[in-house]
Chains A and B, each alone.
Chain A
Amino acid sequence: MMQFMLLFSRQGKLRLQKWFSAYPDRAKKKITRELITLVLARKPKMCSFLEWKDLKIVYKRYASLYFCCAIERDDNELLTLETIHRYVELLDKYFGSVCELDIIFNFEKAYFMLDEFLLGGEVQETSKKNVLKAIAAQDLLQEEETPQGFFEDHGLG
């Protein structure tokens, strides 16, 4: 199973984190720091897989963002690369050519999308259509619910 997935920028800023097993907060911070340093130090042509503690790290860079997953010993590295890619495609389709800013400003959407795609560290639904359909259904509900405090919502709100 996938243990966790981290999205971070070339500058080393964490943009999204998803933990599929329970880790204490302190451990999460330490792991994140370590992995960001480790992955950013790697050169472009290098292998996308590396052993790390008793896990395997699979990472791929898309524009300014690194997607980095930790999987277990007997998990499939190549397929994990494509799991990352499918997630990127989903974001791309949803946001319309996704960029780092979309994920920063709509982090909650990125999480909802991930929950439809991966659950409990396993792939739940690989069909792009089905995932997007589920998210579209959520958005539809969102639009039906009129924001009441819209006018007060300026500045610090």
Chain B
Amino acid sequence: MPTVKGDGMRGLAVFISDIRNCKSKEAEIKRINKELANIRSKFKGDKTLDGYQKKKYVCKLLFIFLLGHDIDFGHMEAVNLLSSNKYTEKQIGYLFISVLVGASSDLMKLVIQSIKNDLVSRNPIHINLALHCMANVGSREMADSVGGDIPKLLTSGETIDSVKQSAGLTLLRLQRSSPEMIPLGEWTSRIIHLLNDQHMGVVTSATSLIEALVRKNPEEYKSCVSLAVSRLSRIVTASYTDLQDYTYYFVPAPWLSVKLLRLLQNYPPPEDASVRTRLTECLETILNKAQEPPKSKKVQHSNAKNAVLFEAINLIIHMDSDPNLLVRACNQLGQFLQHKETNLRYLALESMCLLATSEFSHEAVKKHQDTVITALKTERDVSVRQRAVDLLYAMCDRSNAEEIVGEMLEYLESADYSIREEMVLKVAILAEKYAVDYTWYVDVILNLIRIAGDYVSEEVWYRVIQIVINRDDVQGYAAKTVFEALQAPACHENMVKVGGYILGEFGNLIAGDPRSSPLVQFQLLHSKYHLCSPNTRGLLLSTYIKFINLFPEIKSSIQEILGSDNNLRNPDVELQQRCIEYLQLSTVASPDVLATVLEEMPPFPERESSILAKLKKKKPTATAEGGEEKEKEQRTIPQAQVNNAEPSAPAPLPTVNNLNTAPSGGSSGGAVVDLLGLDTAPAPAAPASSGLNFLADVFGDQPATNGVDDDALTPGAEENFKKFFCKQNGVLFENDLLQIGIKAEYRQNLARVGVFFGNKTTFQFTNFTSNLVLADSIKSAVSVQPKAVEPVVEGGAQVQQLFNIECVDSFSEAPLLKISFTHTSQVQKLNLKLPVIISKFLEPAEMNSEAFFTRWKALSQPDQECQKIFKAQFPQDTEQVKQKVLGFGLSILQGIDPNPDNFVSSAILHTRNQQVGCLVRLEPNKQMQMYRLTIRSTKPEISKALGDLLETQF
């Protein structure tokens, strides 16, 4: 038995020894029960126990509880100990309460009374016991009844340091559990100034409190930024002897440094230039120190130093504003990628993921691609490999997608089971996102199924089918490839599903080749039929009926299969029904009817990839749960291939649900409408014409659009869009949920457009996506580099999405901003025009009258001029018109037009390919309330585009 510190409790030590000597679980339980009986009798006995005995028995109960046994008595005795005037008895009492008494206990009132008494005891050591208990239990009741005294204790000049430290963190705990209970308004300034306290321990504790308060109310605590920066600066520049015991293995105050760096991550880069410079210096110093030779070989030294370094890098990434720091951070992490310490490699991979999302450091991260791929192949710890996968995913872009996807596919063959499913999703997403050539995409997905078929979730194979159906340039290739893949003697059931579906739709595209003639296709599929689950069989049956339409010549072979005993009397009701119905359909329907019912699937509406949604939902349980997660829901048999022939049966693909609600969805394809009868209301021509349809679209669970009007603008979008012709900043859209603001800067042919999404509700938006879609007509004229937005927008929060746009050539259509998100489980979609129009790339030009007329005359070919005569929409106020002309990007040239009411302007249009001079004349006729607008430029399409834009503004 080891020595017991202090006076100890001998009886407790003896009891613990006894327990340890027990040879079996049964013996232990027996011994414990004996002890419990003993304690119970002591507590019940008439003889009053003295404080020491009570303490000892309470402590024994605590020990028994910590062994994992339930304790249902002794609480009252513990509470009695709280009011003892002996410190050790009080201390054990509080310990028992902290460990064993829940916040909801009936005894809490008594406990709180004791806490109150101790808080006013003026004995710091008792005050601290009470504070520790509050911090450990942290109940609302405590916050309510005693919490109000804590801020005073924390900030009073009379309080000793150790009590201040405990008070700070106690207040933090109470704030967390019941934020509204303790109003801190009047204390704000004093709390912030704790950052300046002499005592490092007080600052250490206060910084945590302040960070928590800042998260709730950043504006109120804003002044903490400069104090935190100066405190940090003093620490990082201190020598390791300056801070005495707060230096940890030659690293000055690592805990406080990290807390300060975290505090600063709640704010944007400091506005004040001197504070900002000082912070940059701090961060540079921390980066510099990482390059210095270590002051100690101990791992504690390097851990503490690197802890500060990683936190500094987090701050650099958070600020995302200083390219120099970002690149330095990236280089530093690059060194760690090959460090001998596994922990550092792990963290470097993790941090680099964040760096990869910054536009400044994305390229720098890509330099480490080979190292990361090596890590994926050679790391021995699966959790490190997981990080490598994450990083490859984050650093992937169009330039390296093929290589990264290739490496991930290769690794997948030997990857740990625990991370396979996630990898499959990631590969599928990357392949789709960066596919230039969709045959490559089809190859990748089929490879996924071949290599890791079990981990290919439904979302993945649904998606490949959606894409093949929507892109007619890959349909033939897809049919050929699945046909070849199905030749393998053992192919995965998912391959059979994809193969069945695709051949059912597009088998005709390869039927010309005798090696894949209709009969061969059918026999190949049917050779897999008996090995498949009922789900897949159902799908194959649908393929067969589609074959009857595609290939009438094999109708009899298929009817034979449909009519076989095995199928017609199949114990599986769904299969039986399909066979009967399909057989009947093929017999009674005329070829025309068959062709209509079994027509090729209409394109799927473009939505957010369902795979992406799945990845977002997926929790990082890969390393923890391991093994298999059987969460296969009961699915109905896929039958989407048949255009709604049986409206009662649910469709398998989430995206085709609309087909079953076709009467409201409308225009999903002629076949559906024909089948359901002619009384179906036609789809609304334009959503703007019908407010109700708009509501159904935006607020409905499944938008009532189905591909055709998916691109239609949200009502009001056009009006707001026009407001931006003569200004750069403003509100582009607003409804009850969301406000979208625009802030744009243009320089020559370059634009930097910030789109701000403000969540006006108190609930978060999930699956938030915002994508810029360029119409085919302007794809080559505009180049866009979007930054992704986080999928979650918290209630009340605002997020920014930045687009770097380059004008390559003249264009006449604005890019479409497609936004979609889920709010209180409702899917919301918005289609807005981004006010990036050709006139934004105009630069006003000055010239004298002579130069103007020379050029005007030089541009006299009829197609170089665009003239418009139109009625004034707005009052013809000279000043307002002037502002609009200037806002549009034109100059106002004086003394050229003899009529002073007329406006004459010139400008240069910048595109990457060329610069085009433009001359403009605007003649108001106030009597008629009309305008005549004349534009001349060397390029007819530019004259016209500018004319169309300007016409709307006056």
Contacts and interface: CB of A to CB of B under 8 A. Distances in A.
A125 B14 contact: no
Contacts of A106: 4-5, 8
A139 B5 contact: yes
A106 to B, nearest CB: 5
A138 B91 CA distance: 9
Interface residues of A, number: 72
Contacts of A54: 619-620
B467 to A, nearest CB: 32
Nearest to A29: B68
B480 to A, nearest CB: 42
A78 B310 contact: yes
Interface in B178-226: 200-201, 204-205, 208
A150 B165 contact: no
Nearest to A121: B173
B38 A156 contact: yes
B88 A142 contact: yes
Interface in A112-140: 112, 115, 119-130, 134, 137-139
Contacts of B310: 76, 78
A82 interface: yes
A101 B2 CA distance: 7
A147 B244 CA distance: 38
- The secondary structure that dominates the B interface is helix
B623 interface: yes
B304 A82 contact: yes
B283 interface: no
Contacts of A17: 66
Contact of A127 (B208, B245, B262, B303): B245
B91 A112 contact: yes
B780 interface: no
Interface stretch (B55-63, B437-445, B727-735): B55-63
B170 A119 contact: yes
The residue in A16, A34, A46, A115 that gathers the most chain B C-beta atoms within 10 A of its C-beta is A115
Interface in B78-116: 86-89, 91-92, 95, 98-99, 102-103
A130 B205 contact: no
Contacts of A30: none
Given A122-B205, A127-B200, A46 B1 contact: no
Interface string B5-16: 111111101111
Contact of A111 (B2, B56, B95, B307): B95
Interface in A46-62: 46-54
Contact of A148 (B52, B138, B166, B384): B52
B664 interface: no
The residue in B13, B208, B306 that gathers the most chain A C-beta atoms within 10 A of its C-beta is B208
Nearest to A38: B624
A124 B6 contact: no
A78 B343 contact: yes
B20 interface: yes
Contacts of B99: 111
A48 B91 CA distance: 34
A157 B135 contact: no
Interface string B45-70: 00000111100100100110010100
Interface stretch (B249-257, B399-407, B703-711): B249-257
A124 B204 contact: yes
A156 B4 contact: no
Contacts of A1: 208
B342 interface: yes
Contacts of B6: 139, 142-143
Interface in B356-370: none
Contact of B138 (A43, A76, A120, A150): A120
Contacts of B62: 107-108
Interface in B253-273: 253-256, 258-259, 262, 265
Given A78-B310, A120-B172, A141-B87, A46 B53 contact: no
Given A102-B2, A119-B132, A147 B7 contact: yes
Given A51-B623, A76-B310, A82-B303, A124 B16 contact: no
A51 B10 CA distance: 43
Contacts of A119: 131-132, 135, 165-166, 169-170, 173, 205
Contacts of B303: 78-79, 81-82, 85
Given A51-B623, A156-B35, A104 B16 contact: yes
B306 A78 contact: yes
Contacts of B2: 99, 101-102, 105
Contacts of B95: 108, 111-112
A105 B381 CA distance: 36
Given A102-B2, A126-B256, A129-B245, A76 B205 contact: no
A86 B201 contact: no
Contacts of A125: 162, 165, 201, 204-205
B125 interface: yes
Contact of B300 (A52, A82, A94, A102): A82
B497 to A, nearest CB: 32
Nearest to A89: B300
A50 B98 CA distance: 29
B841 interface: no
Contacts of A145: 7, 86-89
Contacts of B16: 104-105
B258 to A, nearest CB: 5
Contacts of B246: 126-127
A67 to B, nearest CB: 14
Nearest to A83: B255
B44 interface: no
A149 B53 CA distance: 7
Given A53-B621, A156-B11, A79 B4 contact: no
The residue in A78, A81, A95, A126 that gathers the most chain B C-beta atoms within 10 A of its C-beta is A78
B347 interface: yes
A19 B59 CA distance: 19
Contact of B125 (A43, A82, A115, A141): A141
B551 interface: no
A14 B8 CA distance: 22
B346 interface: yes
A16 B66 CA distance: 8
A51 B4 contact: no
B311 interface: yes
Nearest to B207: A122
B332 interface: no
B1 A105 contact: yes
A106 B91 CA distance: 14
A22 B66 CA distance: 16
17 contacts: A38-B624, A51-B386, A51-B622, A78-B347, A79-B258, A82-B248, A106-B5, A119-B205, A120-B135, A120-B138, A122-B205, A126-B253, A129-B245, A138-B88, A139-B6, A149-B52, A156-B11
Interface of B: 1-2, 4-11, 13-16, 20, 34-35, 38, 50-53, 56, 59, 62-63, 66, 68, 86-89, 91-92, 95, 98-99, 102-103, 125, 128, 131-132, 135-136, 138, 162, 165-166, 169-170, 172-173, 176-177, 200-201, 204-205, 208, 244-246, 248, 253-256, 258-259, 262, 265, 300, 303-304, 306-307, 310-311, 314, 342-343, 345-347, 380-381, 383-384, 386, 619-624
Interface of A: 1, 14, 16-17, 22, 29, 34, 38, 43, 45-54, 74, 76-79, 81-83, 85-86, 94-95, 99, 101-102, 104-109, 111-112, 115, 119-130, 134, 137-139, 141-143, 145, 147-150, 153-157
